[in-house]
Amino acid sequence: MSSPKERIIATTFELFARQGYNSTGINQIVAEANVAKASFYQYFKSKEDLCVEFLNVRHEYWFNELNSFVSKEKESKSKLMSSFDFLIYMNQKEDFRGCSFLNILSEISSDNVKILNVIQNHKKDVRNYFSQLIENKDLADHIYLLFESSIIESQLFRSNELIETSKKIITQLI
């Protein structure tokens, strides 16, 4: 059985995905995670702190899944193309939930630096991932932007069509 903290994080993922950050309250998280309110506050001082922890856990999970997914590929170009296939895999696995980081970004105020920093660091790591695969920085950034827009568009239209289109564009670019 999972620990109270793990149940809180898992419940947070489900609730944030289903109803958003702003519409999810601590009382609902506590109830659905089946933990005492005191347990919640033992681990998190606030909903904002929970969100930061959730995003950090999500970051680690997402990169572990990505690296595992592309690990069978040996060449950088193959890893790059497989990264877009990873988006299709995640869309199937998570029913087109999109990017947890961007979903939360759309709900926080611009002065919420604590959460914003975590989101920015995640996106910097995604961008660096492509920079490590492609020596040409401008091309790496172009592909990063295709990747990010593929996430948003696939969530918006509940379709992998533009991910496939991005792969065709990349084939022409590299």
Break the chain into its structural domains and give their ranges.
Answer: 1-44, 48-173
* Mean pLDDT value across residues 34-62: 96
Q: Give the pLDDT confidence of 87-108 residue by residue, as tens digits.
A: 999 999 999 999 999 999 999 9
* pLDDT of res. 49: 97
Q: Spell out where 18-87 has E strands.
A: none
- pLDDT higher than threshold 90 for residue 1: no
Non-local (6+) Cβ contacts of 67 within 8 A are none
Token pair recorded at residue 124: 């910097």
Helix 113-133 to helix 76-94 angle (10° resolution) is 140
Q: Tell me what the pLDDT averaged over the chain comes to.
A: 96
* Mean pLDDT value across residues 4-33: 95
- pLDDT higher than threshold 90 for residue 41: yes
- Closest by CA to 148, choosing from 110, 107, 102, 112, is 102
Q: Give the pLDDT confidence of 66-91 residue by residue, as tens digits.
A: 999 999 999 999 999 999 999 999 99
- Closest by CA to 54, choosing from 94, 93, 20, 96, is 20
Q: Which class is domain 48-173?
A: mainly alpha
* Mean pLDDT value across residues 22-30: 97
* pLDDT of res. 69: 98
The CATH number of domain 1-44 is 1.10.10.60:
yes
